[in-house]
Amino acid sequence: MKLRSTILAFAAAASLSVPAVAQERGGERLLWPDSGAALTYQYEQRAKAMQAEFAAVKQADGGVMTADHLAQFQQKLSDLLQSYREELAKLDPNSVNADATRPR
C-alpha cells in the first residue's frame, strides 16, 4: 500500500512541479519534446505502468505482496524517482553541479 501511495504521490508531484508547455490544435494537446511537461508525461506513464505491474504481482501473490516482491518494487520506484530528478535537473537552466558545471 505504501508503494502505491508513493507512486500516486510521484505522479501528482510531477504534474505540479513543471509548468505545462503545450499547444492546442483541434482539441489535441501537443507537448514540446524538450519541455519539462513532456518529461513529466513520460515518467507519469512509467509510474502508471509500474502501478499496473504492482497490481498484477499482488494478485498473483494472493492479494498480499511478498517481502521480496515489495523490495523489488521499492527499488524500481526509487530508481524511477532518481532518474526523473536527474532528467528534470538537465532541463532547469538554473541547475548546476557542485563544481558549477551543467548536469549532463
Residue 102 in this model has a pLDDT that exceeds 70: yes
Question: What are the residue boundaries of the structural domains of the chain, listed by start?
Answer: 2-91
pLDDT tens digits, residue range 33-66?
Answer: 566 778 888 899 999 999 999 999 999 989 888 9
pTM of model > 0.75: no
Q: Which residues lie below 8 Å from residue 45, measured CB to CB, with a gap of 6+?
A: none
Per-residue pLDDT averaged across 67-92, rounded? 90
Q: How far apart are CA 17 and CA 67, in angstroms?
A: 32
Q: How far apart are CA 53 and CA 23, in angstroms?
A: 32
Per-residue pLDDT averaged across 22-41, rounded? 61
Cell of 69: 516482491
Which residue matches cell numbers 521499492?
74
